[in-house]
Amino acid sequence: MKTFCGRANPSTGALDWVEESEEYDYHQEIARSCYADMLHDHDRNKKYYRGIRAAVARVQARGERVVVLDIGTGTGLLSMMAVTAGADFCYAVEVFKPMAEAARRIVEKNGFSEKIKIINKHSTDVTVGPDGDMQTKANVLITELFDTELIGEGALPSYEHAHRYLVQAPCEAVPHRATVYAQLVESELLWRWARLQPVAVEGARLAPPPALGLCAGAHSVCDVQLSQVSPGSFTALGPLCTMFSVDFSKPMSSAFQSHSSQFEARAGGRAQVVLSWWDLDMDPGGSVVCSMAPSWTYAQPETAPWRDHWMQSVYFLPSERRVCEGESLRLTVCHDDYSLWYGLRSPSQQDAQPEAPPPRPCCTCQAHLVWTRPRFGELNDGRRTESYVRALRSVLTADSVCLGVSDGSLLPVFAHMMGAKKVFSLESSRTSQQVIKQVLEANSMEGGVELLEVRAEQLSSKDLGGEQVSVLMAEPFFSSSLLPWHSLFFWYCRSALAGVLRPDAAILPRAASLHLLAVEFQDLWRIRAPCGSCEGFSVSPMDEMVQKSLDFREAREAEPHPLWEYPCRALTAPAEVMTFDFTQRVPQQPISSRGSLPLIRPGRCHGVALWMEYQLIADVTVSAGLIGPVSEKGECEWSRHRKQGVYFLRSPWESSGRAAVSYSLTFEPALGDIKMDFSVAPQ
């Protein structure tokens, strides 16, 4: 059966109707999931196996029949481990239908069909009894319900229900316990992701609106690969605190709770950010521990296991506060059934009443609804701002009529500050308008920029008060963009606005270019690598399903990834492979580029990294990818503000001799997309 799905095209802005089969949707979900990453996480798998063997042995030692409940079974791997360890029967629950089907195939392929029952339901819908999904309650509970924040996938309600209805008391649990850790730090780098900082423009100061400083920010967790955040970029103001533990072998509640840790500040500074992660004890004695700690906490950082399905968390305090070395502080963490948040206070601030827990953060300024954390970092990047100011300075005159086309951009504000006659800004939403309006009001610039909530193709000279635009400007940034070339939406806007542009109008940026280089990833390759087998069990049906999803596509696709979090080595020189001239309208005919890049370093070529660079004026370019030269060893420094595109090769290429990466790229104007294909061959 085929269905038609309406999707907004991020490049053209048009509503596209895409025909898809149900099977395609399922395979795409699996292909883009983290299952491959988890299957390649040997540290996790081995420790789960050790914990499962020990739990099964404890039940057998009591002379009981071992009945296992595996919630969130995924591929069925943990259930197969349990049966191999001696379990008599296992109920494996998986709510995601295509994954449950994959688990059935994997369990059958490994010969466990008689001892493992796959239940395609949410665990809270599972029933026990003669006519139920389970014939009897389980005495071993195995789960993998965790995310970076530990409880974000609904682990607590699932455990609460399982202990009430699906497992015996007492029961063995794997993992047995989780412990959450946190550390209070000052970090200018990380704090830039949470608050708009003052911006210097031509000797003037653009102040952030007071509402932004008073806002507690977004409540959602900021998950990152903290191993890639250098300890030199933050100052620890306190010790690593044990915040709370959860015993999964006992009944629990998913209701609101708060926990505190009191300590003396180890250094003075501005308390801004809480770094957090958690450990899993796979057994009651804590002898088998699976840790999410970043690599810089290890005596030998290179021995730290890499995971992408579980990372670390960054929490921003509602407001920064100055603390003194030796000051007594109390860090409090609260959680509901799905999320965590932190608060800080000095115990001396307490009065006779019990201390009230910090309220859950909620954005009141609207900026956190418009700007993502990387976007905050981009707006706070002084060097980047100077590039745009320098470019504006070269095209602005006292008679300039400027039009900005970006989402929640400060460029129109800059143009007004720099003396443009009139400034207009197209905003994608009413919320975005309100945020920019706050910026203008905070700096006594009311009326300095006229905010227009209208699509580019609908804009007329009447909307501009009869004016013709002499400077069309963009960063370009659009909240709908996922891949680097989705920012070409600006090109389509520029084409639609041709009727309101002066013949000699300056277009900023004047052009964009697509760049690429072939890379060897340190770890990211795992998320798309075939598994075949995992800890001795065949999981090849998973590889078959992922491959089938790739075969459904007319052409291979790139994926968006923030490469600053995923170290890689360049195996070719970076190359500019396609140019888009914004001074002209979008062409009717496709733009194609073909060629090859020689591999100049030995290594394992996993794929190709792609990014956009924007030529603002002749001598000012801003990169959304590489932000410095590649080192002699091939090390790369990537922009933290934008995601880059990654095209994974079907099979990695061992580059020990002379070889080259061939590329074929075609920009389809009607689709706003770039069709691409890459291959590696010896020279």
The radius of gyration of the chain from alpha carbons, rounded to an integer in Å, stands at 28
Backbone dihedral region for residue 496 (phi beyond 0: left; psi -120 to 50: alpha; all else: beta): alpha
Looking at this protein, which amino acid is placed at residue 651?
Answer: S
Tell me the two tokens of residue 109.
Answer: 């392929």
Q: Rounded to 10 degrees, what is the CA torsion of 500, 506, 508, 512?
A: 100
User: What residues pair up with 342 in beta bridges, in sequence order?
Assistant: 333
For 20-67, give the DSSP string.
Answer: EEHHHHHHHHHHTSSHHHHHT-HHHHHHHHHHHHHHHHHHHHTT---E
Beta carbons of 631 and 668 less than 8 angstroms apart: no
Displacement of CA 186 from its chain's centroid (Å) = 23
Which helix (H) or strand (E) segment holds residue 90: the answer is strand 89-93
Nearest to 233 by CA among 377, 355, 18, 74: 377
- Residue 657 neighbours by CB distance under 10 Å: 9
C-alpha pair distances (Å), 623 with each of 389, 471, 639, 641:
16, 22, 8, 10
DSSP letter, residue 399? T
C-alpha 461/C-alpha 465 separation (Å) is 6
C-alpha 558/C-alpha 343 separation (Å) is 40
Tell me the two tokens of residue 653.
Answer: 């290429």
Looking at this protein, which amino acid is placed at residue 600?
Answer: I
C-alpha 297/C-alpha 231 separation (Å) is 10
Q: Which residues are catalytic?
A: 144, 153
Which helix (H) or strand (E) segment holds residue 173: the answer is strand 167-174
Tell me the two tokens of residue 451.
Answer: 């905010």
Give the sign of the dihedral formed by CA 223, CA 228, CA 229, CA 231. positive
